[in-house]
Chain A
Amino acid sequence: MNLLVLSGLVVMIAGFVLRLNPLLVVLCAALATGLAGGLDLLAVIAAFGKAFNDSRYVSAVWLVLPVIGLLERHGLQERARLLVEGMTGATLTRLLTGYLLLRQTTAALGLTSVAGHPQTVRPLLAPMALAAAQPKDEAEADRVKAMAAATDNVGLFFGEDIFIAIGSILLMKGFLEQQGIMLSPFDLSVWAIPTALAAFAIHGLRIWRFGRARR
């Protein structure tokens, strides 16, 4: 067993502890593991280049920024704040719990890209949460915004696996098939439901306590 290929993981952890630029750390980790795995330098660079080119779809999401910027220029964030301030009973707890439920439900229907950090958290959810929480200082405002982002992640992760045609379900099905185990996507997705309920309960409880501390 070639233990040297683990050097990439060591580089990742060391780079994180030393707070080096993460892009540099990732590149060095790829070089370390690639060289240890028996590739020569140019082959590692080429392999990384090919993988980078094949995963451009990850960065394509930034094409929504101009329209988000346009709406912000015309006061979308201010409007979101006004809307929440105008609603009686729009507490931070209700806002975030409602969003969590909506995000989990839409993700469970396969609509994972309907919401997200650039699409909905920055322009809508974060300003609404700030309006509902009325933070005293900037550190407090940062905590509210971080909770809004966290709520989006929890809703997405523990909703999407209920949908039968999501990437992770297909990955599991494909992997098990190679091992000679035949399962339908439905068999897998139904087992995402207990964890989805637990995630709603646990994160919902945290939102409730978070909101109560800020009343």
Chain B
Amino acid sequence: MIGLVQVYLLAGLVFAAFALLSARDASNPKRWVNAVFWALLALSMLTGDRLGDLGNGLLVIALVGIAALGGLGRGAGPDEAKARQERAMRHGNRLFLLALIIPLTALAGTLLFKSVPWLVDPKQVTLVSLALGAVLALGIGLVVLRERPVAPLQEGRRLMDAVGWAAILPQMLASLGAVFALAGLGKVVGGLMSQVIPDGSRLGAVVAYGLGMALFTMAMGNAFAAFPVMAAAIGVPILIGQYHGDPAVVAAVGMLAGFCGTLMTPMAANFNIVPAALLDLKDRNAVVKMQIPTALPLLLFNIGLLYWAAFR
């Protein structure tokens, strides 16, 4: 059955190629640092299940050490703006068809693979389809554009250098959430939150719940981590239990209030920090700053919706 194992194998090979090409990148003053960083990530993808928990922990410490002590370098990619312009004229709009192979395969795969559960792990159809789309686009692209196989890996290495250590920040934050849960952080925050709500105020409880979802999401970088905490502290016992609110509204709109928090925090790295790196923005927080004026009125809307719709 095709599932995460095959996706990790592919990702591991891609990171291994980035490591090799980094080691040979004379334009990067820190080429060995980059090479070791991507090699460790390749190791994690390829053999993570055999390293043991402590082994994986030490691997993470090594990755963090590299990023914190001096950090990664950045190789100068070939500056061939002119050549790119020329190729763009020659290939025409065929390039868009190639670019659309990834989303179209992801779309078709997500819909079709669900009916062949013996072939593709039903829980992983989207990730498998995305990986398949990338492979298909790469294969077709190499033929149509008449490129050597090393060219896409070299260009991928260039893009990866631009992202740098931020590439693993989302995975690190996901892992942090697991440790927080293990230590019982959620229960403590929930206990504190339930103490600050004024007694007998339905509006107060709604505001504390909505704001709490947004703020706790901002601290954790993830509404999924905030929801069980706030729902257990305020949502279920007070809004549903005490004031007989509609559970569907309390849960669904509470989660969306959390999503407003996701828009406003650098801790949601894959949505807010990684794109800033991918798009070469000077200010790492430029995307967060752009989102705040959308997030705040939307949070207000969600709190209002909770108040009106949950207690019809």
CB atoms of A48 and B60 under 8 A apart: yes
CB atoms of A142 and B172 under 8 A apart: no
Chain B CB within 8 A of A85 CB = no
- Give the number of chain B interface residues (Cβ < 8 Å): 145
Residue-wise, chain B 145-161 has the 8 Å CB interface mask toward A (1 for contact) of 10100011111111110
Q: Taking CB as reference atom, which chain A residue is nearest B67? A: A23
B window 75-127: CB within 8 A of A: 80, 84-89, 91-93, 95-96, 98-99, 102-103, 106-107, 110, 124, 126-127
Chain A CB within 8 A of B34 CB = no
Chain B CB within 8 A of A64 CB = yes
Chain A CB within 8 A of B22 CB = no
Q: Taking CB as reference atom, which chain B residue is nearest A30? A: B179
Residues of B within 8 Å of A58, CB to CB, are 170-171, 174, 270
Q: How far is the CA of A74 from the CA of B286 in the complex (A)?
A: 29
CB atoms of B137 and A23 under 8 A apart: no
Partner of A63, one of B14, B64, B85, B293: B14
Residues of A within 8 Å of B138, CB to CB, are 66-67, 70
CB atoms of B188 and A153 under 8 A apart: no
B window 229-244: CB within 8 A of A: 231-232, 236, 240
B window 294-312: CB within 8 A of A: 294, 297-298, 301-302, 305, 309
Q: What is the distance, in angstroms, from A107's C-beta to the closest C-beta of chain B? A: 12
Number of A-B contacts (CB under 8 A): 426
Chain B CB within 8 A of A95 CB = no
Residues of B within 8 Å of A179, CB to CB, are 231-232, 236
Residues of B within 8 Å of A213, CB to CB, are none
CB atoms of A120 and B103 under 8 A apart: yes
Contact residues of B: prevailing secondary structure: helix
Residues of B within 8 Å of A146, CB to CB, are 276, 279, 281, 286-287, 289-290
Q: Are A70 and B159 also in contact (CB < 8 A) when A61-B130, A121-B275, A122-B278 are?
A: no
Q: List 22 A-B contacts (CB under 8 A).
A: A9-B219, A16-B267, A21-B71, A47-B178, A52-B60, A57-B7, A62-B167, A70-B152, A72-B159, A74-B88, A75-B88, A117-B274, A124-B99, A147-B290, A153-B271, A153-B287, A176-B251, A188-B252, A189-B252, A190-B248, A191-B309, A202-B297
Interface of B with A (CB < 8 Å)? 4, 7-8, 10-11, 14-15, 17, 41, 44-45, 48-49, 51-61, 63-64, 67-68, 71, 80, 84-89, 91-93, 95-96, 98-99, 102-103, 106-107, 110, 124, 126-127, 129-131, 134, 137-138, 141-142, 145, 147, 151-160, 163, 165-180, 182-185, 187-189, 191, 219, 223-224, 227-228, 231-232, 236, 240, 247-249, 251-253, 255-256, 259, 262-263, 266-267, 269-276, 278-283, 286-287, 289-291, 293-294, 297-298, 301-302, 305, 309
Interface of A with B (CB < 8 Å)? 1-3, 5-6, 8-9, 12-13, 16, 20-24, 26-27, 29-30, 33-34, 36-39, 42, 44-80, 82-83, 106, 110-115, 117-124, 126, 138-139, 142-143, 145-150, 152-154, 156-158, 161, 167-169, 171-172, 175-176, 179, 181, 183, 187-192, 194-195, 198-199, 202-203, 206
